[in-house]
């Protein structure tokens, strides 16, 4: 995250790119290609880097829930209406 913040401030510019492509950025782009716009999550220590990547992406919306059960129900309802959804949870 420190590196990403400094890249945005212009301290660490790479030739031809603003930021390196990470695995999570690749996955988020693939999810966008599938039509995903909302991502459900339970915030936790191990998901902050994923949350930051989602929030940095202007085309995706992070929806935080209070626990895994409510998040899973929300994602299930969303998928029933829209055809698919994304839910992830920290493994603590």
pLDDT at 16: 54
Domain 2-88 has CATH 3.40.50.2300: no
pLDDT at 21: 79
Collapsed DSSP state (helix, strand, coil) of residue 17: strand
Collapsed DSSP state (helix, strand, coil) of residue 11: coil
pTM for the complete prediction? 0.70
User: How is the chain split into domains, by residue range?
Assistant: 2-88
Q: What is the pLDDT of residues 41-65, one digit of tens each?
A: 988 878 888 888 998 889 999 999 9
What backbone torsions phi and psi does residue 41 show, to the nearest 5 degrees?
A: -155, 155
Closest CA to 68 of 44, 49, 52, 46: 44
């Amino acid at each position: 995250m420190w590196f990403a913040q400094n890249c945005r401030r212009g301290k660490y510019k790479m030739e031809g790119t603003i930021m390196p492509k990470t695995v999570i950025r690749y996955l988020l782009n693939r999810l966008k290609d599938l039509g995903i716009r909302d991502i459900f999550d339970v915030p936790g220590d191990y998901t902050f880097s994923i949350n930051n990547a989602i929030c940095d992406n202007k085309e995706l919306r992070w929806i935080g829930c209070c626990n895994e059960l409510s998040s899973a129900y929300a994602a299930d309802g969303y998928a029933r209406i829209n055809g698919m959804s994304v839910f992830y949870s920290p493994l603590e």
